[in-house]
Amino acid sequence: MADASESTPVRPGAALGLLGGGQLGRMFTLAARNLGFRVHALDPGHDCPAGQVADLEIRAAYNDIYAAQALARGVDVVTVEFENIAAETLEAVAHLRPMHPGAHVLHTVQHRLREKRFLADHGFPVTPFREINTEADLCAAAAALGFPSVLKTASFGYDGKGQTKLLALSDIPAAFEALGGQQGILEAWVPFELECSVICARAPQGETSVWPVAENAHVRHILDTTVFPARIPDSVAQGAQAMALDIARSLDVVGMLTVEFFLKAGGELVVNELAPRPHNSGHATIDACVTSQFEQQVRAVCGLPLGDTTLLRPAAMANLLGNLWPAQGEPAWERLLAFRDVKLHLYGKTEARPGRKMGHLTALADTPEEALAKVLAARAALKD
């Protein structure tokens, strides 16, 4: 059995195991199959986006250790598309096969307090934060950090879920109540000019690669559009790329790491959060770069040489959320496909719910502004 943690790479023809079967897993699977690998995906849902294109779909809960072990036994290396997987499952898998990213990485990033402490302890810039276990903790933390501030659950939060913005002392009781007994973290508000992210990869032998900075716009806490490359000064972009690679090395990530940043006026970067996997803000790499973030995940976790991350042309990506779906049936895709230079990616999800990521659009152009205008026009045509 090949071992990606040793110098022997896992070569095309081998089977790769995937914990999580959502859209990130689907695009990983498609990239892996292009390279001649087989993919076995484990996900609790039926007919999941990755399962539809994988060689084998194992339907099991993430805490089903026996199912995870069965997945591991059938493959040469295991990776994840989702970081919130129980520690016992990760341990059981890592005992049987190389798993990238490692359990130590997932342990750190599964919990906002651990993640922020890791970053602060290693000298990376984060907004001031406090641990919240009681309402008294929250009162003291709000007094120390001031308003506005943001209360988040320490675990299992994404896309703004489990977050409350505090504007005044009077917001504290309801915000604490909303934690529902879970541990929380209060963060000082960051008055940012824009949000951006850097995606990088690190191979088992330590080789790294990084894409240009992505500029992200959110609507109701969910990523709406990404402009690639970010419209920021080169010196700031290089600083963000260097910091992302430093974080990947400090965290000893093998595989992918996404670092989300706030950029303040004056060019100061603050790390918002980490994801040890490909990211929604990197979807434009599929159409716009020599190597996509998903192909790079395959290369990195298999111990193969990393691909070239060069951006071929400025690009933009727009998410397609379930809100665009009519009450019955599918949107009028032919209107969108009439934009002949816009690429449509759908994830195979049958049930469209508001806020659910169903697909995305990518366009390339001579400038990031033109690319953004194209994806927005194409998406707007769906609503007419």
Contacts with ligand AMP, residue ranges (CB under 6 A): 127, 150, 157-158, 160, 187, 189-190, 195, 218, 221, 260, 272-273
Q: What letter would DSSP give residue 327? A: S
Judged by beta carbon, residue 19 or residue 154, the one nearer ligand AMP is 154
Neighbours of 267 (CB within 10 A): 12
Give, in order, the Cα–Cα distances in Å from 196 to each of 160, 268, 281: 16, 12, 9
Judged by beta carbon, residue 83 or residue 195, the one nearer ligand AMP is 195
Sign of CA dihedral 357, 363, 367, 373: negative
Judged by beta carbon, residue 91 or residue 193, the one nearer ligand AMP is 193
From CA 152, how far away is CA 165, in angstroms rounded? 9
Instruction: Tell me the closest approach of the beta carbon of residue 281 to ligand AMP, in angstroms.
Output: 10
Judged by beta carbon, residue 150 or residue 302, the one nearer ligand AMP is 150
Judged by beta carbon, residue 83 or residue 295, the one nearer ligand AMP is 83
Instruction: Tell me the closest approach of the beta carbon of residue 125 to ligand AMP, in angstroms.
Output: 12
Instruction: Tell me the closest approach of the beta carbon of residue 150 to ligand AMP, in angstroms.
Output: 5
The answer to whether residues 315 and 211 touch, using CB atoms and an 8 Å cutoff, is: no
Instruction: Tell me the closest approach of the beta carbon of residue 226 to ligand AMP, in angstroms.
Output: 12
Could you tell me the strand order of the sheet in which 163-166 lies? 129-132, 184-188, 149-153, 163-166
Instruction: Tell me the closest approach of the beta carbon of residue 27 to ligand AMP, in angstroms.
Output: 21
299 phi, psi to nearest 5 deg: -60, -45
Judged by beta carbon, residue 158 or residue 339, the one nearer ligand AMP is 158
DSSP string, 46-63: TT-TTTTTSSEEEE--TT
HEC readout, 55-95:
CEEEECCCCCHHHHHHHHHCCCEEEECCCCCCHHHHHHHHH
Tell me the two tokens of residue 68: 């995870």
Instruction: Tell me the closest approach of the beta carbon of residue 161 to ligand AMP, in angstroms.
Output: 8
